[in-house]
Amino acid sequence: MDKKVVFSAIQPSGSLTIGNYLGALSNFADLQKDYQCIYCVADMHAITVQQKPADLRRRTLDLIALYVACGIDPEESLLYIQSQVPEHAELTWVLNTITSIGQLNRMTQFKDKSKKQKEVYAGLLNYPVLMVSDILLYQTSYVPVGEDQRQHIELTRDIAERFNTRYSPTFTVPEIMAPKVGARIMSLQNPAVKMSKSDADENAFILILDEPDVIRRKIKRAVTDSVGEVHYSDEQPGVKNLLDIYSSFKKIDPDEAEREFASAGYGELKECVAEAVVEGLSPVQEKYKEIRGDKKELERICRHGAERAHYMASKTLKKVYRKVGFVQF
């Protein structure tokens, strides 16, 4: 039997944190055994907020290299750049014609993002429709994304069902694949908020590509509390977050980590957490450097991925064009 399709994408709009790594990238590799995985660099989404062209170009290739460094096999999975597969834009146009503006206006991410813009452009409103196209082009069954994307997946299901009803069954109706119950990684400086690369305080987050000394320094400065004992408890959110980071990298239960540090002080805890992160990231960082430095190989991966993605996507788009009544010779 053919494997079911898993689709996910990341925008090349900045460096990724260990939260992105533990919550998404590190799981993407594991899914490859059981699913046909399709991983995309969403550069067309990225331009819905203004980008410096040179930065966007560089970060797009950074992200392809990072996917590979995190264990995505570009032969087994489809790994490609969104703008290199024209069907994404083409299907988006068709789906725009059956998407309600009211529903787009109610997307919480749109509301948040548009508040930050002086002028709100149509691309930002239609951002979710492009996402819907990404997913539907490949007859995706599962979309592994964070909770913040749930509303967009619901929209995807609505639009797929609307098209299937209005014309005839065409799209697989996908489901969100909830991240495996694991920790939400919080800010090292304020454990009440999620770790984010856009935090003004650089000590609040650890990037996947941070140097070992930077990682050690940031963890040393992490906020704890005055209790002085290591417990995995909501009353000690800073310590809890450190235990979450430790246990995620060590692939153990937080309870086990708590026992390990039962008689430790915060200094010792932090040293061990830092070593776990440094050790966990080092194979990723090494592989990243190797592949990012090999322009030819990166280009080959992108071309190969785009070609295979285009082949799959064009099958779906042809069906769509036929069903809506476009002339095809």
Nearer to ligand TRP, 45 or 240 (CB): 45
Size of residue set near ligand TRP by CB under 6 A: 13
Residues contacting residue 147 through CB under 8 Å, at least 6 positions apart: 178, 179
Known active-site residue 323 = no
Interaction between residue 145 and ligand TRP (CB under 6 A)? yes
**Contact flag: residue 176 with ligand TRP (CB under 6 A):** no
Instruction: Answer for the pair 187, 242: CB distance below 8 angstroms, yes or no.
Output: no
Tally of CB atoms within 10 A around 311: 11
Give the contact letters, 8-47, x = binds to ligand TRP (CB under 6 A), - = no: xxxx------------------------------x--x--
Nearer to ligand TRP, 5 or 273 (CB): 5
The answer to whether residue 7 forms part of the interface with ligand TRP (CB under 6 A) is yes
Q: Does 170 bind ligand TRP (CB under 6 A)?
A: no
Element (H, E) at 297: helix 295-324
Among 48-56, 95-103, 142-150, 273-281, the segment contacting ligand TRP (CB under 6 A): 142-150
> Amino acid identity, residue 204?
A
Cα separation, 112 vs 107, whole angstroms = 9
Active site annotation includes 270: no
Stretch of residues binding ligand TRP (CB under 6 A), selected from 1-9, 212-220, 226-234, 290-298: 1-9
Position of tokens 């919550």?
Answer: 23
Strand ranges of the sheet holding 175-177, from the earlier edge strand across to the other edge? 78-81, 36-41, 5-10, 142-144, 175-177
CB of 197 to ligand TRP, least distance (A): 12
How far apart, in whole angstroms, are the C-alpha atoms of residue 289 and residue 209? 10
Residue 311 C-beta: closest distance to ligand TRP, Å:
19
Active-site annotation holder among 197, 220, 287, 319: 197
What DSSP letter does each residue of 130-180 carry, written as one string? Answer: HHHHHHHTTT-SEEE--GGGHHHHHHHHHHHHHHHHHS-S-S---EEEPPP
Q: Which of 3, 4, 111, 113 is catalytic?
A: 113
- Marked catalytic residue, from 4, 194, 220, 323: 194
Distance CA 218, CA 225 (A): 16
Selected binder of ligand TRP within 63, 143, 155, 284 (CB under 6 A): 143
Nearer to ligand TRP, 20 or 248 (CB): 20
Instruction: Indicate if 113 belongs to the active site.
Output: yes
In the beta sheet, which residues pair with residue 79?
A: 39
The helix (run of H) or strand (run of E) holding residue 257 is helix 254-260
Q: Decide if residue 84 touches ligand TRP (CB under 6 A).
A: no
- Residues annotated as part of the active site: 113, 194, 197
Given the rule CB under 6 A, which residues bind ligand TRP? 7-11, 42, 45, 131, 134-135, 143, 145, 149
